[in-house]
Amino acid sequence: PTYTPDQATVTEDHSLTVHYVGAPKNPADNRQNSHWTREVTIDKVTGKTITSTNWVTTDSYVPVDTPKIAGYTPDKSVVDKPTVRTNQEVTVIYDADAQKAKVAYIDDKTGKTLKTDSLTGVTNAKSGYTTADSIKTYQALGYKLVSDDTKGAEIVFDNEDGKDQSYTVHFIHDTITVDPENPGKGSAVYPDGTDKAGLTDTVDRTISYKMSDGSKAPASVKDSLTFTASKEIDKVTGEVLSTEWSKNQDFKDVVSPDVTGYTPRVKTVSNKNVAHDAQNIDVVVIYDADAQKAKVAYIDDKTGQTIETKTLTGVSNAHSGYSTISTIKDLENKGYKLVSDDTTGSEIVFDNDDKTDQAYAVHLAHRTSVVTPNDPKNPVNGNDMTDDLTKKVHQTIKYVELSGKQAAKSNVQTLTFGRSATVDLVDGTVLSYTDWDGPKSTKAVKSPKVKGFVPDKKIVPAQSYKATDADKVITVAYKAVKKAVPAQTPKAPAKKPAIPVKAPKAVKTAEPAKTISIKESAQAQDQLPQTGEDNSKAAFGLGLASILGGIGILGAFKRKKKEN
C-alpha cells in the first residue's frame, strides 16, 4: 500500500535552540535535541489510518541559564524547558550595562587637576571622546604632555559594572628659551625683559682726549660691547626660570694717538673682562705738553760774533712770555741797529717739535754817528776829539827894525780848519774822516805906522792856506827915515824851510768844520808909504832884507826844533 506522508511519519526529531545576541562576543547557541515517536495503525485495504498514538519522547529539555557576560544584562536570565513538540528557538538578548568614565588632566608641577571630563555610556560602547582636543588646548596654554592613559585613542567603555573607568592625562609646564634672535612671542605669557631689547645689553665706551693746555685734542673714540641673554620661561606662568648672559668680553685696546709735542698720560686704554651689566665706561686721556727749548742769538753782523744768547724753556705750544723787543732796544741803546729779526718782534711761542730746538737769529749792525768840531765828544767813550777834528794854521806878521828891535806888535792871524769823523757807536772807533774844510785866507793887513820909520811893505795881502800848511811868519822891516838913496831892487828873502806837520789821526766826520775867524794881534797902519819914499829908501830895504832873511831862517829853525 501507499502511505500518506502523515501515515509514514512516525518519528520526529525536534530541538530547542537558545540564541544569544547583544554582546560583543555572544555565547554559542545552546541546542537541546528530542526524538519523538508514535505508532500508526493503517488499514491495509483502505489505507486509512485506523489509530495513531501520541507522540512521545524519551528525551527531555532542561532549563538553560543565560551565561553571564560582564557588563551586560540578558533579558532572560534562564530559558525554561519547552513543553511542546516543535522546534523552538529562543533568543536571549544581552543589553549593555550603563558605564562611566572620567578623564582627569593633571598639572604635575602643581599637583593640581586642571579639569576632569566625565563620560557616560554603556559597556563596550565607544564614547566618541578623545583627549586630543584638550591636550591641544593645554599645550596652547604652555603645557607639555607627559603621559596620557588613553594614548590618544577614543575611550571605549569597559564592562566593569562595579567600577568607573578612570583616565589621567599628565602635563608639565613647557618652557621656552628666548634670545635676541627669538624673542618672546606666541601664546606663552612673556614677562618684561624677554623682548629683543630686554635680551640685549650694550656697554658703551667713550675715550675722550684732552690737552692740558686747552689746545685742540684728537677726536673721541667710541665703541661698544653687545651682550645677549637666553632666558628659560615657564610657558604656563610666564615665570623666568633661568637667565644666562653671554660671557664677559674685552674691549679692544686703544693706543692713544700721537700728537706731536705732547705725551698722553695713558699710552693704551685697556678695558678687560667687562660684564653685561657693567656701567658705561668713560675714559679721559690727558695729554701733557712736552718740554721745549728755544734759543735767540743776537748776532753782530760786523764781527760775525754772537753778542748774547737767550735760552728759553717751556712746553709745546706755550707762550714763552719773551720777545726780542726789550733786548733789541737795549742793544740799540748800545749803538746797534736792527738788520733782521726772525721773530719779527712777536712773542716766541714754543713749537711741538721734540727733536729740534727752536732757533732764532737777530742780526744787528753797528750804527754810526758823525762827530763835528762843534761837538767833539766821542759818543761812546766820551773822549774829546777836538785835536782830531780841528787844526789851526798861524800866520804871524812881525814888525822889526833893521837892528832887530821890534818896531810894532806882531799881527797874528789864526785860521781854524775843521773836519767830521764817523764814529762806530758800538765800540767808539773812528771809521772815517771827511776832508778838511778850506782853503781859507787871512785878511790883508796894513803895516802899522811907526814914527820915524818906514815899513818895507805897506800892506801884507791876504794869504791862502790849507789845513796841511805849516804856520807862517811874515816880517815887515822898518827903517829909519833918512835922506833918499837910490832904490835897489831888494833881493828876495831866502825861502823858509818847510816845517813838517804831523798827520792827524783819521777821525770820521760828517759836518763841515766851523770856520774860525782870523784874528789879528796888531792893527796895521792905515797909510801906505809913498812911491818917492820907497825909492829914497831902496838901499835901506835891500840891507834890511838880508837881515830879516836871516832872522826868518833862525825863527823857522827854532820853531822846527821846538816842534820836533
Domain containing residue 150: CATH number: 3.10.20.470
- State the average pLDDT over residues 208-228: 96
Whether residue 377 lies inside any domain: the answer is no
> Which residues are 414's β-sheet partners?
394
Contacts of 410 (CB under 8 A, 6+ apart): 396, 397, 398, 399, 521, 522
On whether the CB atoms of residues 350 and 358 are closer than 8 A, the answer is yes
Q: Is the pLDDT of residue 238 over 60?
A: yes
How far is the C-alpha of 266 from the C-alpha of 16, rounded, in Å? 117
- Indicate whether 428 belongs to any domain: no
Closest CA to 164 of 76, 103, 238: 103
Single residue among 74, 95, 116 that ends a domain in this structure: 95
Q: Are residues 84 and 227 in the same domain?
A: no
- Domain end residue (candidates: 274, 289, 304): 289
According to the model, what pLDDT value does residue 552 have? 44
Same-domain pairing of 118 and 260: no
| 322-333: pLDDT as tens digits | 999 999 999 999
Confidence of residue 486 (pLDDT cuts 50, 70, 90): low
Confirm if 184 and 175 have CB atoms less than 8 A apart.
no
Spatial separation of the C-alpha atoms in residues 492 and 487, rounded to whole Å: 15
Going by pLDDT thresholds of 50, 70 and 90, the confidence category of residue 189 is low
Residue 78 counted as domain residue = yes
Residue 303 has pLDDT above 90, yes or no: yes
- Residue 196, sorted as left (phi over 0), alpha (psi -120 to 50) or beta, turns out to be alpha
Rounded distance between C-alpha atoms, residue 86 and residue 303, angstroms: 172
Q: Is the domain of 80 the same as that of 106? A: no
> Quick check: is 482 in a domain?
yes
Query: In one letter, which amino acid is 250?
Result: D
For residues 365 and 427, what is the distance between their CA atoms, to the nearest angstrom? Answer: 12
Burial zone of 305 (CB within 10 Å; 0-12 exposed, 13-18 middle, 19+ buried): exposed
Res 216: pLDDT: 94
- Looking only at Cα atoms, what is the longest distance across the chain? 276
| Contacts within 8 Å (CB) and 24+ apart, 389-392 | 389/418, 389/419, 389/420, 389/421, 389/507, 389/509, 389/513, 390/416, 390/417, 390/418, 390/513, 391/416, 391/417, 391/418, 391/436, 391/467, 391/504, 392/416, 392/417, 392/516
Encode pLDDT of 13-23 as tens digits: 888 999 999 98
Amino acid at 174: D
**Closest by alpha carbon to 348, among 324, 330, 315?**
324
Answer yes or no: do 412 and 550 share one domain.
yes
Distance, in Å, from the CA atom of 135 to the CA atom of 142, rounded to the nearest integer, reads 11
CATH number at 232 reads: 2.60.40.4300
Question: E strands, 22-107, where?
Answer: 30-37, 40-42, 49-52, 56-57, 64-65, 72-74, 78-79, 88-96, 98-107
Q: Are residues 114 and 80 in the same domain?
A: no
pLDDT for 523 beyond 70: no
- Long-range CB contact pairs, 110-115, < 8 A, 24+: 114/138, 114/143, 114/171
pLDDT band per the 50, 70, 90 thresholds, residue 490: low
Please give the model's pTM, rounded to 2 decimal places.
0.52
Single out the residue in 66, 95, 124 at which a domain terminates.
Answer: 95
211 and 268 housed in the same domain: yes
44 and 129 together in one domain: no
How does residue 384 score in pLDDT terms, banded at 50, 70 and 90? very high
Beta-carbon contacts of residue 488 (< 8 Å; ≥ 6 apart): 538, 539, 541, 542
Same domain flag for 75 and 117: no
pLDDT band at residue 489 under the 50/70/90 scheme: low
Q: How far apart are CA 413 and CA 392, in angstroms?
A: 10
pLDDT, position 478: 96
pLDDT of residue 94: 92
Residue 553 lies in a domain: yes
285, 295: one domain: no
> Does a structural domain hold residue 90?
yes
551 domain residue, yes or no: yes
Both 257 and 339 in one domain: the answer is no
Average pLDDT of the chain, as a whole number = 86
- Tell me the residue range of the domain where 143 lies: 98-173
Please indicate, yes or no, if residue 374 is contained in any of the structural domains: no
Residue 329, helix vs strand vs coil: helix
* 9 and 108 belong to one structural domain: no
Judge contact between 177 and 187, C-beta under 8 A: no
pLDDT one-digit tens code per residue, 79-109 = 987 767 788 889 999 999 999 999 999 999 9
| Pairing verdict, β 306-315 and 240-245 | unpaired
CA distances from 509 to 144, 370, 466 (A): 124, 5, 18
Cβ proximity of 529 and 458 under 8 Å:
yes
Residue type, 362: V
Phi/psi at 219 (5° precision): -65, 150
What's the structural domain count of the chain?
5
Give the pLDDT mean for 535-556.
Answer: 39
Q: Are residues 398 and 543 in the same domain?
A: yes
Residues 6+ positions from 531 with CB-CB distance below 8 Å: none
